[in-house]
Amino acid sequence: MTPLRPIDWTTPFGQPATELSWSPDGQWIAVGGVEGRIAIFETTSGRLAHSWDAHPGGLFHCAFAPRTGLLASSGQDGQVRLWDGFTGKPANSLAMGSSWVEQMAWSSDGQWLAVAAGRNLRLWNPASGEVHEAPPAKTTLSALSWHATRTEVAVARFGGVDIWSAEKAELLSTLPWKTSLISVAWSPDGRWMVAGTQELSVQIWQLPFRPESELAMSGYAAKVRQLAWHASSRYLATGGGTEVMVWDCGGKGPEGTAPRILTGHVGKLTTLAYQKNGHLLASGAEDGRVLLWNAGKSSEALRQYRLGETVTALAWDPSDNRLAIGTHEGEVGMVTVPRI
């Protein structure tokens, strides 16, 4: 195993970090806490710029909109809130009723915000004020993933994945599955949709969908909540235990192939993150370690870092040069990564 590398800086946040989000210019990092707090840190030094209590009862997500300084957050108060990410001042809000707002994601152009609370899905364009509401689903909506270039969003639930057009407010298609799905990720090239299932497996559909063409990949020790695509869409990294499984989705796809298995963590994986344009994969786990891999070439970790006892969040900066780390113990750290 590669030796531990130094961390550029660490700073206390005060509560378990649920999510990290970089500002589009890479100068600031937003940290969302499980108890409802948001803090903005300067990324070169770790200096706290400001913080505030965003959601009474707890926070699930916070994310900068691509290309702007608008920061969105969702929580246990049934609200989606928009903030000026540089001042912390409230900008707008969307009430989702009494349900916890557990799912939230910006479209790649930053124009639309998909929000799921219980069985309800809303697609919100804050600039125009448009809000499109889908008919209530039969079961709870469990995960969201946007198409990389189109304003189409995948919504996972019991029974499959629904694909919605934000602009048309229209259900475009459904990818069927027999039980509950707990995670979903659309490949950057739009060719594949992948989801983690309740049965300790990963389900994958090739698009456009043809009945009976879906593929299941099994052999996991736990439910697969961690999914990460390489920028080329060739490699799919999955969690579901202490090992990272990387599937080759090039050519005809992963059917009939074995994954590359990355071993190095001694705790269960908690988060995976590929660089936006590079080849490095970062993995975090309950052992407090972050490992960097070039999984397309090697099964050996290139770098190892340690922060806290449990890593809860990882986020690459817009230029792929730095990696932010959040922990269950309420610590935030930053590392500069090698060029690959």
pLDDT digits (tens, 9 = 90+) for 130-156: 999 999 998 999 999 999 999 999 999
| C-alpha–C-alpha distance, residues 328 and 313, integer Å | 9
| C-alpha–C-alpha distance, residues 126 and 106, integer Å | 11
pLDDT value at residue 193: 98
Backbone angles phi, psi at 185, to 5 degrees: -150, 125
In this prediction, residues 55-66 reach a mean pLDDT of 96
pLDDT value at residue 99: 81
Indicate yes or no: pTM above 0.85: yes
Average pLDDT of every residue of the chain: 96
Backbone angles phi, psi at 307, to 5 degrees: -150, 115
- pLDDT of 310 above 80: yes
Neighbours of 234 (CB within 10 A): 17
In this prediction, residues 31-38 reach a mean pLDDT of 98
- pLDDT of 340 above 80: no
The C-alpha R_g of the chain, in whole angstroms, comes to 19
- pLDDT of 1 above 80: no
Contacts 24+ apart (CB under 8 A), 195-201: 195/143, 195/156, 195/161, 195/227, 196/223, 196/224, 196/225, 196/227, 196/238, 196/240, 197/223, 197/224, 198/223, 200/224, 200/240
| C-alpha–C-alpha distance, residues 188 and 221, integer Å | 27
> Token digits for 274?
């590929």
Q: Hey, is 241 helix, strand or coil?
A: coil
For the chain, the structural domain boundaries read 214-340
pLDDT value at residue 86: 85
pLDDT value at residue 300: 96
pLDDT value at residue 238: 98
pLDDT value at residue 124: 98
> Token digits for 191?
């060719």
- pLDDT of 37 above 80: yes
- pLDDT 10s digits, 190-207: 999 999 999 999 999 999
Residue 64: exposed, middle, or buried by beta-carbon count in 10 A (0-12, 13-18, 19+)?
Answer: buried
- pLDDT of 18 above 90: yes
Strand partners, 173: 163
**How many CA within 13 A on the CB side of residue 305?**
27
> Token digits for 189?
């090239």
Q: Report the top-level CATH class of 214-340.
A: mainly beta
Rounded to 5 degrees, what angle do the CA atoms 270, 274, 276 make?
A: 140
Q: What percent of the chain has pLDDT over 90?
A: 91
